[in-house]
């Protein structure tokens, strides 16, 4: 069995880490580990980088576990476009790399292909084979390209002035309008 590493972790340590954080070793977080590993190794050393995940599923947890970028600290942005891709980029210049899955490289890894393209239901999946393929394929199913961010995505949004909502009495960003977004209809509660 090929020795596999994901940044400073052995593959097995990474599996333990994601099981503790994500709840279970989901295929998307396992593959995400190789994706982040490849991206980090292709960045210039010592730069401060931010991350974009192009899907909300699984991949954000690989980024949060392996890089300084978390959702709550704002260095990870999730753009829910349903694409299984991640980019890491210099937070000042916007230059960086994007890693994504290449279906054309999945020939030898049919169970990964079945999972990725949802060609089998979860019940039909051969999980044992899928996990074996993920470990063996490692970065071989990945593709990398250089990217540069559009200027609009580099600007940090600021909340501006904080005021109390006249309806719910909670603090909210004044720029959202005369009521907070929740009282404007965004509330998820009955």
User: Which residues line the annotated binding site for Zn(2+)?
Assistant: 165, 168, 180, 183
CB of 129 to a second copy, least distance (A): 20
Nearer residue to a second copy within complex by CB, 21 or 92: 21
Q: Please name the residue that has the structure tokens 């709550």.
A: 72
Residue 7 in contact with a second copy, rule: CB under 8 A: no
Residue 125 in contact with a second copy, rule: CB under 8 A: no
Residue 123 in contact with a second copy, rule: CB under 8 A: no
CB of 92 to a second copy, least distance (A): 16
Nearer residue to a second copy within complex by CB, 120 or 135: 120
143 contacts 87 by C-beta, under 8 angstroms? no
Among 69, 71, 72, residue whose Cα is nearest residue 96: 69
Residue 11 in contact with a second copy, rule: CB under 8 A: no
Binders of a second copy among residues 47 to 76 (CB under 8 A) are 52, 54, 56-62, 64, 68, 70-75
CB of 126 to a second copy, least distance (A): 18
Kindly report the backbone phi and psi dihedral angles of residue 61, in degrees, each rounded to the nearest multiple of 5, phi listed first: -70, -35
Nearer residue to a second copy within complex by CB, 5 or 184: 184
| Rg of the chain over all Cα atoms, to the nearest angstrom | 20
Q: Please name the residue that has the structure tokens 């199913």.
A: 141
Q: Which stretch binds a second copy (CB under 8 A): 6-14, 33-41, 93-101, 124-132?
A: 93-101
153 contacts 91 by C-beta, under 8 angstroms? no
10 contacts 39 by C-beta, under 8 angstroms? no
Binders of a second copy among residues 126 to 165 (CB under 8 A) are 147-150, 153, 159, 161-162, 164
- 54 CB-near residues (< 8 Å, 6+ apart): 79, 81, 82, 83, 84, 85, 86, 87
CB of 2 to a second copy, least distance (A): 26
Among 162, 165, 161, 157, residue whose Cα is nearest residue 185: 165
């Amino acid at each position: 069995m090929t020795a596999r590493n994901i940044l400073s972790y052995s593959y097995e340590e990474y599996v333990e880490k994601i099981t503790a954080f994500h709840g279970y070793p989901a295929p998307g977080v396992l593959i995400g580990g190789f994706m982040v590993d490849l991206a980090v190794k292709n960045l210039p050393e010592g730069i401060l980088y931010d991350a974009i995940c192009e899907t909300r599923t699984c991949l954000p947890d690989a980024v949060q576990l392996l890089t300084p970028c978390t959702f709550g600290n704002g260095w990870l942005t999730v753009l829910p476009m349903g694409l299984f891709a991640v980019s890491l980029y210099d937070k000042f210049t916007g230059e960086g790399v994007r890693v994504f899955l290449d279906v054309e490289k999945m020939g030898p890894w049919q169970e990964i292909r079945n999972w990725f393209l949802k060609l089998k239901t979860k019940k039909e999946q051969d999980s044992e084979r899928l996990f074996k393929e993920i470990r063996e394929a490692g970065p071989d199913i990945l593709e990398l390209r250089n990217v540069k961010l559009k200027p609009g995505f580099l600007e940090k949004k600021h909340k501006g002035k904080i005021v109390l909502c006249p309806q719910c009495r909670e603090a909210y960003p004044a720029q959202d309008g005369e009521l907070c977004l929740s009282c404007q209809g965004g509330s998820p509660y009955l």
